[in-house]
Amino acid sequence: MNKHPPGALPVVQLKIERRSNHPWIFQKMVERPEPKPKPGSIVEIVDRNGEFAGRGFYNGHSRISLRVLSSDIDEAIDDAFFARKINAAVSLRKDVLKLDAVTDAYRLVHSEGDGLSGLVVDRFADTLVIEFFSAGAFRQRDLIRNCLLEHYPGSAIYAYAEEHVQKQESFDCATPARPKPTVIHEHGVRFHAAPGSKHKTGFFVDQRDNRLALAGFCEGKRVLDLCCNSGGFGIAAKTIGAASAVVGVDLDEEILAIAEQNAHLNKAKVRFVQADIFHWLRDYSGNRAEKFDVVILDPAKMTRDREQVIPALKKYLDMNKLAMGAVKPGGILLTCSCTGLVSEAEFLDMLRRAAFYAGRSVQVLKVSGAGADHPWLAHVPESRYLKAVFCRVE
């Protein structure tokens, strides 16, 4: 057992007094320790006065030099700590949210939201997908794997980190062989989840509640699913919502092939179109008089760079303005953003401006986000990345 008694850990000192409970401490606030611990090492943190400030992951190569795991002076960061955190995360999904009653696909560990900074785990039936966002979480990979298998014995595990994360965090995570796509169930609808594809961890479980809510607007309606990915919204609109016709548009041929398989899996008649949504919507508005009753716009993340937030908002404005042009008067628009750096207030302001330029009036019915299996701590709003705005467009 990896037990760290007081005094056994490397000590990292801050240049500041610790006046925040946010788990991230940035490089500019940290004294350079000698010798420097390896990226992802567990360290003891003291403030500039030498007072205990916490224990957590240290990475001198990362902009986020310290990820605080505990501020309790009596709590060791050992095998039992990680087991407790994973136990609590599993219990939240199984015992509190009771997700197994409606799906076998959900976010099992949501990084800071579950007290495990830099770690994301998604469950897709009998496959667990682990994504590392920090060198610290990566260094605990064997322990994390073993803890997960205690709860889901016999599961296949696919563990990876995106290249930009490995570069930022200074660790090497070999890309494993892709597991076979697995079939998952969600509110009676079946989907293929494809871990190892370039589309997140394999399926967008964060939109589960929004897919169900959207289906409630679709009975007998014509539905347009823009940036449809593997067809989640469109297929839910057809199978749960009893839409009369559904069109899905996406630029990515590979993901549309999975969308076709998903439609076939559910015996759902959906027409998928491989096209750039900007070109498709401009052609549509120019050539067709008939609008859609329900339009979904759920594009990929626009940026990870704070310097690119304004250009990202401009893209959101352009695509929302065009999407509004495809909605018939009184129709429903669900518009989404998974760009964490764009705040809810900024996204809603963009929507206001898009409506102005489109010459439409937008009545906001509900502002939603990711499901409850993506919890976020009140003092770590960065974990709350998804915005989903249900609107009526006049």
Taking only the tens place, the pLDDT of each residue in 122-136 is 999 999 999 999 999
Q: Which amino acid is at 329?
A: P
Q: Rounded CA gap, 75 and 98, in Å?
A: 29
Q: Check: CB of residue 350 under 8 Å from CB of residue 316.
A: yes
What confidence score (pLDDT) does residue 286 get? 59
Q: Which helix (H) or strand (E) holds 106?
A: strand 105-110
pLDDT tens-digit series, residues 339-363: 999 999 999 999 999 999 999 999 9
Using an 8 Å Cβ cutoff, are 83 and 77 in contact?
Answer: no
Task: Give every residue of the chain whose pLDDT is below 70, as ranges.
Answer: 1-7, 198-201, 286-289
| Whole-number Å distance between alpha carbons of 128 and 159 | 8
Residue 181 is predicted with a pLDDT of 81
Domains for the chain: give ranges and CATH numbers: 11-70 (2.30.130.10), 79-169 (3.30.750.80), 204-393 (3.40.50.150)
For the packed helices 232-239 and 208-215, what is the interaxial angle rounded to 10 degrees? 40
* Whole-number CA gyration radius for the chain: 23
The two three-digit tokens of residue 358, written as one number: 């489109």
User: What is the three-state SS of 303-356?
Assistant: CCCHHHHHHHHHHHHHHHHHHHCCEEEEEEEEEEECCCCCCHHHHHHHHHHHHH
Tokens of 143: 């322990």
Contacts of 252 (CB under 8 A, 6+ apart): 229, 274
Side-chain-side CA neighbours of residue 128 (13 Å)? 21
42, 136 in Cβ contact below 8 A? yes
Question: Residue 381's pLDDT is what?
Answer: 87
Whether residue 35 is preceded by a cis peptide bond, meaning omega within 30 degrees of 0, is yes
Q: Report the share of the chain in percent with pLDDT over 70.
A: 96
CB atoms within 10 A of CB 368: 18
Tens of pLDDT, residues 5-41: 555 899 999 999 999 999 999 999 999 999 999 999 9
Residue 289 is predicted with a pLDDT of 65
How far, CA to CA in Å, does 191 sit from each of 227, 251, 267, 316?
A: 17, 20, 12, 28
H/E stretch holding 146 reads: helix 141-151
The per-residue pLDDT for 7 is: 59
Residue 383: per-residue pLDDT: 86
Please tell me the predicted confidence (pLDDT) of residue 126. 94
Rounded alpha-carbon distances, angstroms, from residue 102 to 99, 229, 244, 387: 6, 22, 25, 23
Indicate the burial class of 133 (C-beta count within 10 angstroms; 0-12, 13-18, 19 or more). Answer: buried
